[in-house]
Amino acid sequence: MGVLDSAQDMIGKGASVVKGAVSGVAVENQAFMRGFIRMCNDGWLQGWHERNGGNLTYRMTEAEVEAARPFFYDNPSSWVAMGVQADNLRGAYFVTTGAGRYMRNVQLDPAFNVGIVQINNAGDAWRLVWGLKDGGKPTSEFASHVMNHSVRVAATGGACRVLYHAHPESVIALTKVMPLDARAITRVLWKAMTECVMLFPAGVGVTETMVPGGIDLARATSELMKTYEAVIWANHGLFCSGPDFDSAFGLMHAIQKAASIHGQALMMNGGSGEFANTISDDDLRAIARAYNLTVNEAFLD
């Protein structure tokens, strides 16, 4: 029996028999969880989450933890080492999708497909305090999420709360035909539609093709997330951050749409990227100036 199996056993034995007796709004109906569930379902409806593809984590506020606490397991799981050190996330609580569980099913049964985990005071292990029933554990990309939450919390002065990974098909297709270079890929995304430079003025990072759920992918992504709010994983998908569900979902949506527009325009143009009408570098500068945004000048000609 593995560590996780025995942890789940403990939960089974220790959980209150009648959690319904606890007063307060059930976790599933609290606003943060409703937002989390809605985002999972919205991603499913977009077609970004085949099978168990994609995952989502949310760093809870102290008030949200207190509202949910009456529903936590009486006996949380044992601590599980993450192989990651996150000093600025000591004691934090995250909502996370489950490894191998389907975004499609989150709305039907949140307590099976989603869990709340606590990070220990050393910042290097998690334990399950709610949900992920029947032996579930956090997403296989949890180390990546924690490492990247740590980086984005530092980069945003604590504002970042959401990390979202999906498999949007046009983004994946783009990585098959373009050099895996942040500047080259950012430029085609910025030039796909005028809003893009406003939505991600720093650009997007890009990794090589790497093993899903691996620590190397987590490390490579967290290096890039010091600079970028979003990182494309070659031949895999996209990892987006944001202060709230709307921002992270919106960033995913915009990057996917830009990649799709670029792909369509290439096809309409016989495969050539020399379009009759394009967004020039001066256009990009003008948009950034008009909206008082600091655009990544290194990505402009």
Which residues form the interface with Zn ion (CB under 5 A)? 237
Annotated active-site residue 62? The verdict is: no
- Which element (helix H / strand E) includes 133? none
Instruction: Indicate which of ligand 13P, Zn ion, none lies near residue 52 (CB less than 5 to 8 Å, by partner kind).
Output: ligand 13P
As measured in angstroms, the least distance from the Cβ of 69 to ligand 13P is 26
Of positions 35, 70, 135, 213, contacts ligand 13P by CB under 6 A: 213
Task: Tell whether residue 43 is a contact of ligand 13P (CB under 6 A).
Answer: no
Binding mask 136-165 for ligand 13P (x = CB under 6 A): ---xxx-----------------------x
- Which among 141, 169, 195, 208 is annotated as catalytic? 141
Q: Which is nearer to Zn ion, 37 or 166 (CB)?
A: 166
Helix, strand, or coil (residue 169)? helix
272/278 Cα distance (integer angstroms): 13
Neighbours of 12 (CB within 10 A): 13
As separate numbers, helices (DSSP H) first and strands (DSSP E) second, the chain gives: 12, 9
Least Å distance, CB 142 to ligand 13P, is 8
Given Zn ion, ligand 13P, none, residue 140, with its beta carbon under 5 to 8 Å by kind, binds ligand 13P
CB 101 within 8 A of CB 71: no
> Cα–Cα distances in Å, from 2 out to 7, 8, 212, 214?
9, 10, 22, 20
Examine residue 10 and tell whether it contacts ligand 13P (CB under 6 A).
no
Which residues in the 61-80 window bind ligand 13P by CB under 6 A? none
- Is residue 212 within the footprint of ligand 13P (CB under 6 A)? yes
Pairwise CA distance, residues 31 & 189, whole Å: 33
CB of 180 to ligand 13P, least distance (A): 18
Gyration radius (Cα) of the chain, Å: 20
**Farthest CA pair distance, the chain:** 68
C-alpha–C-alpha distance, residues 119 and 140, integer Å: 16
**Contact residue for ligand 13P among 8, 52, 256, 296 (CB under 6 A):** 52
In the complex, which residues of this chain contact ligand 13P (CB under 6 A)? 52-55, 97, 99-100, 139-141, 165, 212-213
